Chains A and B, each alone.
Chain A
Amino acid sequence: MGKRVGMEVAIAASEAVALCNIDVAAVYPITPQSHMAEHLADIIHDGRIDAEFITVESEHSSISACAGASATGARVYTATSSQGLMLMHEILPIVSAMRLPIVMGNANRAVSGPLNIWNDHTDIMPQRDSGWICMFAENGQEVVDMTIQSFKIAEHPDVMLPVVLNIDGFQLTHMIEPIEFPTQREVNKFLPPRKPFASLHPDHPISMGCFNMPDIFMETMKAKDTALRNSKKTIINIWKEWGRQFGRIYRPVETYKTKGADTLILTVGSMGETASIAVDEMRKKGVAVGLVKLRLWRPFPLDELHDAIKGCKTLIVMDRAVSFGGAGGPVATEIKSLIYHDKGRPRIVNFIMGLGGRDVTVNDFIAMVERAKKKKDETYEYYGVRE
């Protein structure tokens, strides 16, 4: 294990990508992902890794270039944010349908309009049904670890699906954190070179991305859905393998002080760190509150969520996105629907908070727990909005 260094998380993300010995990167810079793009370009320009950096004219092109490169058997990385991810949207389901193991870092940022460059999850949530494996990092160390894990997960012969790793914009990308880097030898041991299931080569002609008639399209969709569902088993195994080699444990659903808690806060991404301090504060005062952190968003870890929320009376779901005119935040909506049939299911209180970079502090989490106690129904509520 290497030593701990202080590093900006976006820079560390690119250093992690370099450790993975990628062959091709096609990245278009966009705030707050820019430092990831620039630093990766530096690494490749300086010849630190033997890779090709394709300078593209848009994110639609960057993901398309990645798809082509991945089809030839290359290990491929891209990174984007917000509007860039929206521009990639058309290609995302194609990449997963073609079973191309591209890894993408997404520096989460609010989607326009109005224009706003700060953090929330309104960029990734509309990509929910793209068929990508979708996970969230909570701190700089997790960004490094999960970037390396993502390549192994994506390229595994039982998975062969793209992975998007969500890294909260500014809240994470621009923090300078102490990070422990694995050595190149350790990464090589964990992540051997990609062995593609099939690749494009003029000597062995095959066709990828073929057209489907109505008489086969539904079978293809079920095959894709099943592949994504089945990937959970491999993801968990790879996280266990990481734990054995590096001593840091990763689970689809993380829990913090949930034992004996009748109220649980559920978070996604970097806000889990702040919420854990709020839980400490409230526990000191004897409030039976705990924290559940959703690391894996697709495939959805329903069994693990069930285990985590067992016995709790109130589940407070924090959503950093909203489905306008719908049932609330996407995370709460989904959890409500998934546990609808459960006997003795918890009451779900859904707060829409932290949109467009609005700060959510320790005191805000405490205030939301207080507010949840008084709330009678299960409708969603905006927290921190001036009334």
Chain B
Amino acid sequence: MKKKKAASKAWPEKWHEVNPGCMVFIPGNASTYHTGSWRAQRPEWDNKKCIKCGLCYVFCPEGCITEDAEGFFKANLDYCKGCGICAHECWPGAIKMLEEVE
């Protein structure tokens, strides 16, 4: 088994491309997997209601909420799974979960 060949692919397609033991040789390569595809609902911020407390940022289990230059927040939809925890925790009610429609 040649390690170089096995390590070169970030994400295997075929069974014989799977690294032995599913070992991962590229640290942090979980970021290449976009969990946003799991989402059924997406969060939307109403910045008129937002008080910039940052609770959404603190509670996001995916760590995909970031603060912009003005101090407001948004989710990176490549990774947001649509769990709705941000909307649940947002006590001023600035975040609404909207259905993802094709």
Question: Which A residues contact B (CB, under 8 angstroms)?
Answer: 97-100, 157-158, 160, 197-198, 205-210, 212, 216, 218-220, 222-223, 226-227
B22 at the interface (CB under 8 A from A): yes
Provide the residues of chain A in CB contact with B27, threshold 8 Å.
Answer: 205-207
Q: Smallest distance from the beta carbon of B40 to chain A beta carbons, Å? A: 17
B23 at the interface (CB under 8 A from A): yes
Provide the residues of chain B in CB contact with A160, threshold 8 Å.
Answer: 1, 20-21
Scan B75-99; emit 1 where CB is below 8 A from any A CB, else 0.
Answer: 0000000000000000000000000
- Given A157-B1, A198-B3, A223-B16, A97 and B22 touching (CB < 8 A)? yes
Q: Are A212 and B20 in contact (CB under 8 A)?
A: no
* Whole-angstrom CA separation of A197 from B22 in the bound complex: 12
- Given A160-B1, A227-B20, A219 and B25 touching (CB < 8 A)? no
Q: How many A-B residue pairs have CB under 8 A?
A: 58
Provide the residues of chain B in CB contact with A219, threshold 8 Å.
Answer: 12, 14-15, 17-18
* Whole-angstrom CA separation of A174 from B3 in the bound complex: 44
B24 at the interface (CB under 8 A from A): yes
Q: Which residue of A lies closest to B17 (CB)?
A: A219
Question: Which B residues contact A (CB, under 8 angstroms)?
Answer: 1, 3, 12, 14-18, 20-25, 27
* Whole-angstrom CA separation of A372 from B24 in the bound complex: 54
* Whole-angstrom CA separation of A197 from B21 in the bound complex: 10
Majority DSSP secondary structure for residues of A touching B: loop
- Given A158-B1, A216-B12, A100 and B22 touching (CB < 8 A)? no
Q: Are A212 and B1 in contact (CB under 8 A)?
A: no
- Report 20 cross-chain contacts, Cβ distance below 8 Å, ordered by A residue: A98-B22, A99-B20, A99-B23, A100-B21, A160-B21, A198-B3, A198-B25, A206-B27, A207-B27, A209-B21, A216-B12, A218-B15, A219-B12, A219-B14, A220-B15, A220-B18, A222-B15, A223-B15, A223-B18, A227-B20
Q: Which residue of B lies closest to A94 (CB)?
A: B21
* Whole-angstrom CA separation of A226 from B20 in the bound complex: 11
Contact of A206 among B1, B12, B17, B23 (CB under 8 A): B23
Q: Smallest distance from the beta carbon of A201 to chain B beta carbons, Å? A: 12
Q: Are B21 and A99 in contact (CB under 8 A)?
A: yes
- Given A160-B1, A198-B3, A208 and B14 touching (CB < 8 A)? no
Q: Are A207 and B24 in contact (CB under 8 A)?
A: yes
Q: Are B21 and A97 in contact (CB under 8 A)?
A: yes
Q: Are B15 and A210 in contact (CB under 8 A)?
A: no
